[in-house]
Amino acid sequence: MTALLEMRGISKTFPGVKALRNVNLAVQAGEIHAICGENGAGKSTLMKVLSGVYPHGSYEGDIIYEGEQRQFAGISDSERLGIIIIHQELALVPLLSIAENIFLGHEPAKMGVIDWDEAFRRTRELLAKVGLNEQPTALITHLGVGKQQLVEIAKALAKKVRLLILDEPTASLNESDSAALLELLREFRRQGIASILISHKLNELAAVADFITVLRDGTTVETIDCHAEEISEARIIRSMVGREMSERYPHRVPRIGDTLFEIRDWRVEHPQHPGREVIKGVSLNIRAGEVVGIAGLMGAGRTELAMSVFGRAYGRHIAGQAFIQGREADLSSIQKAVAGGLAYLTEDRKNLGLILGEDIKSNITLANLAGVSRYGVIDDHGETEVAEQYRSKLNIRSSGILQKALNLSGGNQQKVVLSKWLFADPCVLILDEPTRGIDIGAKYEIYTIINDLAASGKGVLVISSEMPELLGICDRLYVMNEGRLIDEMPVHEASQEKIMAAIMRQHGAAR
């Protein structure tokens, strides 16, 4: 059998970085081929070479697709041949309907007039194929991330896809949405559509993949045949990082002190729909040296809660009291929140976390420029020193502190945002999905940093969609659902089942 796709000896160099070195990849028709590797290993770069984002001539090596040598000059060339890439950052237009989004740019038309009946009919077919139960006229903004992801896939199907590339598709999905998406890939496999799946969630890869290609430092380590051997996460990790990783979470000895931060009866209204309460009377506290987690499903209101607390970065008509170290705190603006000792690590690092056009150095010092300047004048040496210090402490992989944030791999961008808030030296850190899109090794490093922060007497609030992570690093958990905290438990009493049960119970009560 000849391969659908073969990439041979691909090398790609950026100024100062060799991102890919002689990488080989072969994908057969109708298989699910996973790619994994640490942050900055070159996974996204390889897919950009394949899809023509980096055009022929800007890399070395050959791409053979459907038996022919291909030289893509841009994305449209590869799309025409059925290679469709779905980026992690969804590219849908929020205020248009599902149908409009799916057919954007190639609307079915009769003599120049859009044939909406036809568009709706075909949208319905496509939505049925991806198992999404929504009307074609529903607006994208009203859909959750999981459903938006399915719309993206429906859009790909509308273009007659033969090879679907998904770059970290499940990073922001909850478990049931992820499961649905993986099931869909299996269905595609039955229909002969091949998929390339990039993910840091190794359990998913182990569950669906036929082959797993592992990249490390821009080279292919191996391609594992999942049908020939028993696949375990440990097996993949060993190949990824080149050594055993026995522990997933660093050992933690909590030393918990007094209450550091507290909010009482916190209420927030939706910024666009006055009167609609998004946060409905939340009270919580964090003690010094404590790591507190908030579990919940996508859309439970965790990010909204965190951002409204952080200087009203979200919402309007915010009511409730906040206390820092026992004293009532004024959190009416972000500057005041930062001055009061709060930091919020956003889940949306591209749009809110980073200044993409600036270098690593400027990004790291941005929240605390006062710390490297005198009378408003920045001390260059001091700034460089600080940036270097965090680059080595958090192991940020880059060509130097002058590399632009835009050109960093996803995981390393996250470390830059984290460095920024660490340098601001807050007493309470709110970390929203701190390990999203981050490899196993780097996750461990971030957990260690969280431990160190707690050990130094700070309070940490972690929001995460990965329950094992919360169970592995927190001391105490809150469960949030539909704008309310519905349960609270010390971690030694908590389990995934217990958390889900609490959520289900409330769903039941609401009916």
Partner 1 sequence: MGIKNLGQQGIVFAVFTALFPIFAIALPGFLTTANMLTLLQNVAVLGILGLAMAIVVIGRGIDISLIAALAVPPGLVLQMVQDGHSLSISLAAAFALSIAFGLVNGWLIAYAEVPSLFTTLASGLFLAGLGQAALFKLDVVQWSPGLDGFEKLGQGNLLGIPMPVVMFALACIAVAFLLRQTRLGAYIYAIGDNPNGARVTGIPTRPIIVLQYVMAALIGCAAGLIMASSVNSMPTRIFNSTLIYDVILVVVLGGIGLSGGRGGVVNVIIGTLLIGTMLNGMTIMDVSYSGQNLVKGVVLLIAVITDSFLNPRNEETAQQGDI
Ligand X SMILES: Nc1ncnc2c1ncn2[C@@H]1O[C@H](COP(=O)(O)OP(=O)(O)OP(=O)(O)O)[C@@H](O)[C@H]1O
Per-residue mark of binding to Mg ion, 78-97 (x: CB under 5 A): --------------------
Among 391, 397, 436, 443, binds ligand X (CB under 6 A): 397
Number of residues that bind ligand X (CB under 6 A): 19
Report in angstroms how near the CB of residue 361 gets to partner 1 at its nearest: 10
Residue 454 and residue 468 in contact, taking contact as beta carbons nearer than 8 Å: no
37 binds ligand X (CB under 6 A): yes
Closest CA relative to residue 19, chosen from 27, 7, 28, 11: 11
Could you give the CA distance from residue 485 to residue 252 in angstroms, rounded to a whole number?
26
411 binds ligand X (CB under 6 A): yes
17 binds ligand X (CB under 6 A): yes
CA distances from 266 to 152, 279, 298, 480 (A): 36, 7, 20, 13
Among 52, 410, 441, 459, binds Mg ion (CB under 5 A): 410
Per-residue mark of binding to ligand X, 427-446 (x: CB under 6 A): ------------x-------
Residue pointed to by tokens 């009061």: 340
Report in angstroms how near the CB of residue 407 gets to Mg ion at its nearest: 12
40 binds partner 1 (CB under 8 A): no
Report in angstroms how near the CB of residue 377 gets to partner 1 at its nearest: 5
Q: Residue 161: CB partners within 8 Å, gap ≥ 6?
A: 82, 83, 84, 193
Instruction: Residue 42: name its binding partner from partner 1, ligand X, Mg ion, none (Cβ under 5 to 8 Å by kind).
Output: ligand X
Residue 463 and residue 278 in contact, taking contact as beta carbons nearer than 8 Å: no
Among 173, 193, 224, 367, binds partner 1 (CB under 8 A): 367
Closest CA relative to residue 105, chosen from 78, 133, 76, 82: 76
- First CA to last CA across the chain, in angstroms? 54
351 binds partner 1 (CB under 8 A): yes
117-125, 204-212, 228-236, 405-413 -> range binding ligand X (CB under 6 A):
405-413
Closest CA relative to residue 367, chosen from 336, 329, 331, 338: 338
Quick one: tokens of 222?
């191996």
Report in angstroms how near the CB of residue 169 gets to ligand X at its nearest: 13
Report in angstroms how near the CB of residue 101 gets to partner 1 at its nearest: 15
Could you give the CA distance from residue 192 to residue 414 in angstroms, rounded to a whole number?
36
296 binds Mg ion (CB under 5 A): no
Task: Report phi then psi at 189, rounded to 5.
Answer: -60, -40
CA distances from 283 to 130, 287, 315 (A): 40, 14, 17
Of 72-91, binders to partner 1 (CB under 8 A) are: 85, 87-89, 91
Could you give the CA distance from residue 46 to residue 52 in angstroms, rounded to a whole number?
10
Residue 340: CB atoms within 10 A of its CB come to 19
Residue 266 and residue 320 in contact, taking contact as beta carbons nearer than 8 Å: yes
Report in angstroms how near the CB of residue 313 gets to partner 1 at its nearest: 5
172 binds ligand X (CB under 6 A): no
DSSP H or E segment with residue 460 = strand 459-463
Instruction: Residue 40: name its binding partner from partner 1, ligand X, Mg ion, none (Cβ under 5 to 8 Å by kind).
Output: ligand X
Task: Report phi then psi at 271, rounded to 5.
Answer: -65, -35
241-249, 335-343, 406-414, 444-452 -> range binding ligand X (CB under 6 A):
406-414
Instruction: Residue 81: name its binding partner from Mg ion, ligand X, partner 1, none (Cβ under 5 to 8 Å by kind).
Output: none
376 binds partner 1 (CB under 8 A): yes
Task: Report phi then psi at 205, rounded to 5.
Answer: -60, -45
Number of residues that bind Mg ion (CB under 5 A): 2
44 binds ligand X (CB under 6 A): yes
39 binds ligand X (CB under 6 A): yes
Residues that bind ligand X (CB under 6 A): 14, 17, 19, 37, 39-45, 397-398, 407-411, 439
Residues that bind partner 1 (CB under 8 A): 44, 47-48, 53, 58, 85, 87-89, 91, 167-168, 171-172, 198, 307, 310-311, 313, 334-335, 337-338, 344, 346, 349-358, 362, 366-367, 369-370, 373, 376-378, 380, 406, 409-410, 420, 424, 436-437
